Amino acid sequence: VDGQIEAWLQPEVDLVTGEVIAAEALARWRTADGVEIASSFIDIARRAGMLEQLMAEMAGQLWAWRRLSCSNLAVALNVSAAHLPSLLALHEQDPIGRPFVGMRLEIAETDIIHDFDGARKILTKLRELGAQIMLDDFGAGYSSLQMLSDLPIDGIKIDRSYVARIETDWRVRNLVTSLAEFARSTNMIVVAEGVETSRQAEFLTKMGIDRGQG
């Protein structure tokens, strides 16, 4: 699949002003029949043992884009805990041309619990090199205060399943409000995933969440 994987950028916006403040790189596979989204080929890559190669390809495209565009926009890349050492090795091979400054690494909470201490150590190293660390899909799996207090993270992304219920479930609204208050008290970023309607954006801003993606 050399040359067929492309990084498409999905904006993260300020829910009040509409300003684009960051972007997430989403893998797309350009085939002879068109463009396939990640969900349609990610399992194939996993079974073929190519997830590490896919991550490296995406990281390389983002590094190249940042060099050419001279953009200060924070750009996020979804990463797996198992492949973090490889990502670090790529940087060490070319530390000047591939800086982590301005790069956000998003890792799912469910991916960390299998080797919490190991993930914490390498995330700390990546953060020291300038990467911003986000806990992805927060609330979709094993959420705990230990994740927020013990990991070297800059923020969380609230899982889209919560956003979908925000208008109808008061318990979800209370939880999101609590997360917003916790984030403000600890200088963490909170991003709501899967924001699809203006009503959802309105609810989120009232609860103190000012960043959304969807």
Q: Which pTM does this prediction carry?
A: 0.85
Structure tokens that stand for 164 in this block: 């979908």
pLDDT at residue 89, rounded to an integer: 86
Q: By C-alpha distance, which of 55, 62, 63 is closest to 81? A: 55
Chain Cα centroid distance, residue 138: 11
Residue 15 CB contacts under 8 Å (≥ 6 apart), including other chains: 192, 195, 201, 204, 205, 209, 210, 211, 212
pLDDT, mean of residues 115-122: 87
Residue 67 CB contacts under 8 Å (≥ 6 apart), including other chains: 97
Work out the pLDDT band at 70, boundaries 50, 70, 90: confident
Mean model confidence pLDDT for the chain: 83
Instruction: Give DSSP secondary structure letters for 176-194.
Output: HHHHHHHHHHHT-EEEEE-
Query: For residue range 141-183, what is the model confidence (pLDDT) as tens digits?
Result: 666 666 777 889 999 999 899 999 999 999 989 988 988 888 8
At position 129, the amino acid (one-letter code) is L
pLDDT at residue 69, rounded to an integer: 78
pLDDT, mean of residues 83-109: 83
Is a pLDDT exceeding 70 seen at residue 40? no
Query: For residue range 119-129, what is the model confidence (pLDDT) as tens digits?
Result: 889 999 999 98
CA dihedral angle for residue 85, residue 102, residue 193, residue 19, rounded to 10 degrees: -170
pLDDT at residue 43, rounded to an integer: 65
Report the distance separating Cα 138 and Cα 99, nearest Å: 27
pLDDT at residue 45, rounded to an integer: 64
pLDDT at residue 28, rounded to an integer: 78
Is a pLDDT exceeding 80 seen at residue 103? yes
